Amino acid sequence: MLFARIAGVGSYLPGKPVSNNELAQRGVDTSDDWISTRTGIKTRYLAEAGVTSSELAFEASRLAISDAGIRAEDIDLIIVATSTPDYIFPSTACLLQEKLGNQGAMAFDVQAVCSGFVYAVTIAEKFIRSGSHKKALVVGAEVFSRILDWNDRATCVLFGDGAGAVVLEASDKPGVLATATHADGSYNHILSVPGCVSRGQVVGDPFLRMDGQAVFKFAVRALTDVAKECCAVAGIGSESIDWLVPHQANIRIIESTAKKLGLPMEKVVVTVDQHGNTSAASVPLALDAAIRDGRVKRGQRVVLEGVGGGFTWGAVLLEY
């Protein structure tokens, strides 16, 4: 049987960590106590002006490609999950492709906000399983700092910039075992950047707007249900997985989800404290951290899961 197996991982965070206190010193009406207690976030990374998603994606991809022991030219599929693309077009994936020196791979972006990486892995897996592609680079990369309203303390303290990448390779050894992905567009209004560029002007609102409590409730329900659904596809119970790598948005969302899944927090990878919510980059950032520090080992069962604007949500069960 043909599987899509993780051959390499990498991640990148730009610049130095910015603490909660530093945000308060920069004029945001907030405190370390409020942010830590409500979200678990301690620091985030904010890219310098002019640094783009494709640049962050490049740094993470370089590491993932090297970890996989392949060359950039070996890749035949590049998918970048991002809601903060460099341009309207061409895609961030094509800009990344040029930076990597790859020619000829199919390259495109996926727009599923914080579920983007899970969506992208799901898509890449289908290409690999079909036999049409052999080596996929799947990246989540974001510069969310560009779409934050720094006068809106209820949102600007939550997000940060970063990128994470995996190389998925066709293999006869187990890799991705099951996937489950969904969307419900009727929830578009609870988390959005409701603006666009038209005739040379911004039309609507170019900043992230969120109904925090509605998102919180939706996220816990969706993350719980989709992890169970994905495990059921593979015929296992969610309590029997080795690691849960959830979207890193808020420690309270992560803890509630773990509790509902019957998983102790020792089996849950948490990095939200270090980099805040990096949208599509959050799951690969957390996965890379847990592989690097030796927690996630070859042969273990891992569930990656995301939820975000759209609303979108999804999970991938894999054997690492």
Residues in contact with ligand UT7 by CB under 6 A are 30, 34-35, 38-39, 114, 153-154, 157, 210, 212-213, 215-216, 219, 249-250, 253, 277, 308
Smallest distance, ligand UT7 to C-beta of residue 309, A: 7
Identified catalytic residue from 94, 114, 156, 230: 114
Q: Closer CB to ligand UT7, residue 14 or residue 308? A: 308
Cα–Cα distances (Å) from 220 to 124, 152, 245, 274, in that order, read 26, 24, 14, 21
Smallest distance, ligand UT7 to C-beta of residue 34, A: 4
Q: Which residue is nearest to ligand UT7 (CB)?
A: 212
Q: Which of 215, 222, 169 is nearest to 309 (CA)?
A: 215
Q: Cα–Cα distance between 22 and 284 in angstroms, integer? A: 26
Identified catalytic residue from 20, 156, 230, 247: 247
Smallest distance, ligand UT7 to C-beta of residue 51, A: 22
Q: Report H helices in the chain.
A: 20-25, 32-39, 53-68, 92-100, 116-130, 153-156, 212-233, 251-261, 272-275, 282-292
Q: Closer CB to ligand UT7, residue 95 or residue 315? A: 315
Both tokens assigned to 10: 């990498």
Smallest distance, ligand UT7 to C-beta of residue 32, A: 10
Q: Closer CB to ligand UT7, residue 38 or residue 292? A: 38
Which amino acid does the sequence have at 49?
A
Q: Cα–Cα distance between 243 and 239 in angstroms, integer? A: 10
Residue 106: CB partners within 8 Å, gap ≥ 6? 76, 77, 78, 133
Q: Closer CB to ligand UT7, residue 76 or residue 142? A: 142
Handedness of CA 317, 112, 75, 62 (dihedral sign): negative
The number of C-alpha atoms within 13 Å of 168 and in the hemisphere containing its C-beta is 30
Smallest distance, ligand UT7 to C-beta of residue 113, A: 7
Both tokens assigned to 118: 């899970």
The yes-or-no answer on residue 21 being catalytic is no
Question: What does DSSP say about strands 43-45 and 77-81: parallel, antiparallel, or unpaired?
Answer: unpaired
Q: Closer CB to ligand UT7, residue 4 or residue 249? A: 249
Smallest distance, ligand UT7 to C-beta of residue 316, A: 17
The yes-or-no answer on residue 275 being catalytic is no
Q: Closer CB to ligand UT7, residue 85 or residue 310? A: 310
The yes-or-no answer on residue 277 being catalytic is yes
Residues classed as catalytic: 114, 247, 277
